[in-house]
Structure 1
Amino acid sequence: MRILLAEDEKELARAVQVILEKQDYLVDVVHDGQDAYDYANLTEYDGMIFDIMMPKISGVEVVKKLREEGSQSPILLLTAKSAVEDRIDGLDSGADDYLTKPFSMGELLARVRAMTRRKSIFVADILSFGDLKLDRETRTLSCKDKEVKLANKEFQIMELLIENPHRLFSADQLLEKIWGFESDVEMNSIWVHISNMRKKLALLQSSVRIVATRGAGYSLEEGND
């Protein structure tokens, strides 16, 4: 399950990220409303958690924009406000749930479990492109009667690519999307993971390839040269 967490209080964001990852969620963290909107447009999340009071764009405005554009991902709003009017405004914007700060991590996890159960009705655990199948639950990539296990970052990259076939992602976009804006991971980490995934695709004898376009980035393509 993949969660987008948008919270400008960095210590709180880190604490929530750690708790969610201990429950085996994949968590992308951003710290302002614009990044939350951009990330939500890049990937279909199983659930999103937005603080209401964020720089650049408020959480409520992000929800409104996403709902207007057709996003159906469940959204939980976090806020320090407790007035009834604020709760109504948040829910009317299209949010599925509302949690007032301060909150217990146990309650947050319960809310996240509830909203991801609702999402599971609409999103398949198996993603496919060409002759490839990616199992989100087991993180295995398969082709016909062969399968390989993907490491965590390999899985996240492949999930992104297979959800967006033919779309070019620059190395910078992959680095920011998979490792986060503030990561100190070096660019060669992208090359290493791409190389490893290409070897696994060859092992599976898949017709799907990760294609590098000079000066542009990487995309998932089907067929031979």
Structure 2
Amino acid sequence: MRILIAEDEKKLAGFIQQGLIQAGYLTEVCHDGSEALEMAVKNEFDLILLDLMLPGINGFDFLKNLRTFGAETPVIIISAIADSRQVVQGLDLGAVDYIRKPFEWDELLARIRIVSRFSGSGGQQKIRIEDLEIDIPSRKVKRGTVEIELTSKEFVLLEYLMRNANLVLTKNQLLENAWNMNFDPESNIVEVYMHQLRKKIDKGFDRQLIKTVIGAGYMLKGEKQ
């Protein structure tokens, strides 16, 4: 697994690089956002570890431009920024995870292993429940003949719901598996995303697939095709 570390704090970047090398990963380090974007577009990386406060271009602009160039490399944001709005912004721009500084080294390695499992799993390519279908490699979603556009995080959430169709999933399970975040009873991030997802998936269709199970969680209910 080849990892690009985009981090302007040279001491921290060196610490991360050394630890990843010892863990058996191939690494490249860049301290500037513009240079990191050029490296990410021109080279094949399996994962990018991205600081948000980079010189050149910041992490948000890096993500926007990365997707504009058509690169689908998974990105884990590593940042001291803790504002939930900026966390959501980074995830919506295509990052698969968000780790706040300071972080535990074992946690970072665990998050990297999760990304590795999903990106190289060679698992099911399409999932269909009733008339709802997702194509995982192309990240396309259709309900009947209608194509539905989802943000990156909405897609991950829907994929998790569909893989566990007809099972009640708790808020904690959704946070851990769709966001890789620990349970925070104060956070309403799950409710916000489920509301957005339900509007896109169910609004205008006769049958409502996404169910709220009061006091328990959420379920995508339907017959697997």
Shorter-normalised TM range: 0.5 to 0.7
Q: Which runs of 4+ in 1 moved over 4 A?
A: none
64 and 121 in structure 1: CA distance in 2 versus 1, 3 angstrom threshold: farther
| Cα contact 2:41–2:69 (8 A) shared by 1 | no
Q: Which amino acid aligns with 2:52?
A: I
Query: Match for residue 68 of structure 2?
Result: 68
Shift of the alpha carbon at 1:121?
Answer: 4.0
Shift of the alpha carbon at 1:118?
Answer: 2.0
Q: Distance in 2 between matches of 1:2 and 1:107?
A: 19
- Structure 2 stretches of 5 or more lacking a match? 123-225
| Cα contact 1:46–1:120 (8 A) shared by 2 | no
Query: Match for residue 55 of structure 1?
Result: 55
SS, match of residue 91 in structure 1: helix
- Per the normalisation by structure 2, the TM-score is 0.53
SS, match of residue 48 in structure 1: strand
SS, match of residue 115 in structure 1: helix
| Cα contact 1:47–1:119 (8 A) shared by 2 | no
Q: Distance in 2 between matches of 1:59 and 1:34?
A: 10
| Cα contact 1:31–1:54 (8 A) shared by 2 | yes
Q: How many residues align?
A: 122
| Cα contact 2:33–2:54 (8 A) shared by 1 | yes
Q: Distance in 2 between matches of 1:29 and 1:57?
A: 16
Q: Distance in 2 between matches of 1:71 and 1:95?
A: 12
- Per the normalisation by structure 1, the TM-score is 0.53
Q: Which amino acid aligns with 1:120?
A: G
Q: Which amino acid aligns with 2:66?
A: L
Deviation per CA, 1:153-192: give whole Å up to 9, x if none.
Answer: xxxxxxxxxxxxxxxxxxxxxxxxxxxxxxxxxxxxxxxx
For the aligned residues, what is the CA RMSD? 1.1
Shift of the alpha carbon at 1:114?
Answer: 1.0
Query: Match for residue 13 of structure 1?
Result: 13
Q: Which amino acid aligns with 1:61?
A: D
Q: Distance in 2 between matches of 1:119 and 1:7?
A: 23
Q: Distance in 2 between matches of 1:118 and 1:64?
A: 22
Q: Distance in 2 between matches of 1:50 and 1:81?
A: 12
Deviation per CA, 1:50-105: give whole Å up to 9, x if none.
Answer: 10000010111111111122211110011111111110111111111101111011
Query: Match for residue 46 of structure 1?
Result: 46
- Structure 1 stretches of 5 or more lacking a match? 123-225
SS, match of residue 117 in structure 2: helix
Deviation per CA, 1:97-123: give whole Å up to 9, x if none.
Answer: 10111101111111111112222247x
Query: Match for residue 78 of structure 1?
Result: 78
